[in-house]
Amino acid sequence: MNSPVLPAVPGAARKPVVLIAEELSTATVEVLGGDFEIRYCDGADRSALLPALADVDAILVRSATKVDVEALAAAPRLKVVARAGVGLDNVDVKAATQAGVMVVNAPQSNIVSAAEHAIALLLAVARRIPAADASLRAGEWKRSRFSGVELFDKTLGVLGLGRIGVLVAQRLTAFGMNVVAYDPYVQPGRAAQMGVRLVPLEELLSVSDAMTIHLPKTPETMGLIGEAELAKVKPGAIIVNAARGGLIDEHALYVALKERRLAGAGIDVFTTEPCTDSPLFELDNVVVTPHLGASTEEAQEKAGVSVARSVRLALAGDLVPDAVNVQGGVIAEDVRPGIPLAEKLGRIFTALAGEVALQLDVEVRGEITDYDVKVLELAALKGIFASVVEEQVSYVNVPLLAAERGLEVRLRTDPDSPDFRNLVTLRGTLASGRQVSVGGTLVGPRHIERLVEVEGFDIEIELTAHMAVLQYVDRPGVVGVVGRILGAAGVNIAGMQVSRDRRGGKALVAMTVDSAIPQAALDEIVREISAEDVRAINLDD
């Protein structure tokens, strides 16, 4: 998989380098497009991988390439590791985080394939298909030997009601099965909406005619189904594990199958992999596959395309929803529209402050606080540092940038928002002791971004690419003077709002304009109206 590297054109801007270390679909490369220099290597060959990492910005891998401390040290420019799949066993996420490298995967890519494979194993065991196939190929016609069982009107026990478990439950409900589930992290009401009854593990074991496991591999779930649990299983039941090896004690499973306390098992994953020799292979009531849950063309293409999109976002410094080492975790759909708003408020804050604050509160009010809104803090910081530092600002490095600059950040939430459905406000203290604040909200079904508070003054004006904020002593004629100066500079005012604390007191004008205001015009405004402060805000760069 070697690709020629063309010589750089003198004076040409450097394209980010993306290293594809394992075979991925053509669609993956198409998503990356021509914006990147694409290189290839055999990631399983360390002697080829390590030197290839010297100047890459991103690496795409599957399961054979180990991205560990050594690999990270060999990649000083690396910004993102993309695993085209779900598991991250071959990526040292902690070391990547410490190195400021984003790690992304494709958590949704294989869920349909994994669910279908679990069901395939269940059907294969219930109807003894592999054994019947082998018998017939051997020249035998023994129909009575391979009598199976129907799934209709039987009870299915689902261990783990996550994304894959839900898909299995939905599909086998259509088979006419009665579904019960064990999952201590799911509310009974959510399960009931799917027609699934939550039960304790012991009850599930005793009532299920078939069980399928869809739990993550954690210290709590390792060996969850052992000798004691298998002793409680309903006689003649079938068990399927297409999730993670080690969730079932393989020796205890072998004994239960050998003694025919279990009718059969379908196993796709093993405690140690690759596994080419196991006592389970000796049993004719076991169907085994070599970890094929995600091995479909569709799943592999989805995984590659998904991480390619994430790489594009990451290298652009944008939010990557599938990043596993970004604070904020999974982002609720109701939170997403607020992300660009928070980032723009951060840019406005920096424009108003003219420096990095010592302390910053990111306040989030309203219905949105029912969700995890940590990402709004990150978005605000990304906006704050966008024009402050030379390096590219991302959701991974902004906490480090804040810490390096002594910025103490606090996220404050309050479900009470008297004036707006949701409100995001940034309040900061500068080294001089000056307080700076800016607040915004989203309006209507199209989530129109509105600036609703600046420096304690209530306003309401739509956010646009070019804006300005003026502070002065309230008196007649100021708006006319500002309009005249901007008109002479060829700058059209699109919108304007004036707010004041009292008649003849402090006043603030927030305006939107169709183009950037020249510095000469800003200087003239300061002189003509004796402005206390004039700040231009550009959100399109």
Q: Average model confidence (pLDDT) for the chain? A: 90
Q: Which one of the listed residues 30, 273, 462, 532 is annotated catalytic?
A: 273
Q: What is the pLDDT of residues 17-67, one digit of tens each?
A: 999 999 998 999 999 988 999 999 999 999 999 999 999 999 999 989 999
**In angstroms, how far is CA 240 from the centroid of its own chain?**
29
Say yes or no to pLDDT of 390 above 90: no
Query: Average pLDDT, stretch 139-163?
Result: 94
Q: In this prediction, what percent of the chain has a pLDDT beyond 90?
A: 72
Q: Which CATH number fits domain 326-453: 3.40.109.10, 3.30.540.10, 3.30.1330.90, 3.40.50.150?
A: 3.30.1330.90
Q: Which one of the listed residues 244, 309, 312, 427 is annotated catalytic?
A: 244
Measured between alpha carbons, how far is 377 from 339 in angstroms, rounded to an integer? 9
Catalytic residue status for 259: no
- In terms of CATH, what superfamily is 464-541? ACT domain (3.30.70.260)
How confident is the model at residue 9, as a pLDDT? 47
Catalytic residue status for 251: no
Structure tokens at 9: 């054109």
Q: Which one of the listed residues 62, 83, 214, 291 is annotated catalytic?
A: 291
Say yes or no to pLDDT of 389 above 80: no
Long-range pairs for 473-479: beta carbons < 8 A, 24 or more residues apart: 473/504, 473/505, 473/506, 473/507, 473/530, 473/532, 474/500, 474/502, 474/503, 474/504, 474/505, 474/506, 474/507, 475/504, 478/507, 478/509, 478/529, 479/509
Q: Which helix (H) or strand (E) holds 125?
A: helix 111-126
Q: Place 484 in a pLDDT band, splitting at 50, 70 and 90.
A: very high
Say yes or no to pLDDT of 6 above 80: no
Measured between alpha carbons, how far is 269 from 292 in angstroms, rounded to an integer? 8
CATH number at 111-288: 3.40.50.720
How confident is the model at residue 326, as a pLDDT? 64
Catalytic residue status for 449: no
Measured between alpha carbons, how far is 377 from 342 in angstroms, rounded to an integer? 8
Q: Which of 184-193, 228-237, 440-449 has the lowest mean pLDDT?
A: 184-193
Measured between alpha carbons, how far is 345 from 437 in angstroms, rounded to an integer? 10
Measured between alpha carbons, how far is 489 from 480 in angstroms, rounded to an integer? 14
Measured between alpha carbons, how far is 188 from 181 in angstroms, rounded to an integer? 10
Start-end of CATH 3.30.1330.90 domains in the chain: 326-453
Measured between alpha carbons, how far is 157 from 303 in angstroms, rounded to an integer? 29
* DSSP output for 289-350: -SS-TT-SHHHHHHHHHHHHHHHHHHHTT---TTBSSSTT-SPPTTTTTHHHHHHHHHHHHH
Helices (H), 194-296: 201-207, 227-230, 250-258
Q: pTM of the entire structure?
A: 0.64
How confident is the model at residue 42, as a pLDDT? 96
Start-end of CATH 3.40.50.720 domains in the chain: 17-106+299-311, 111-288
CATH 3.40.50.720 fits 17-106+299-311, yes or no: yes
Say yes or no to pLDDT of 470 above 50: yes
How confident is the model at residue 89, as a pLDDT? 84
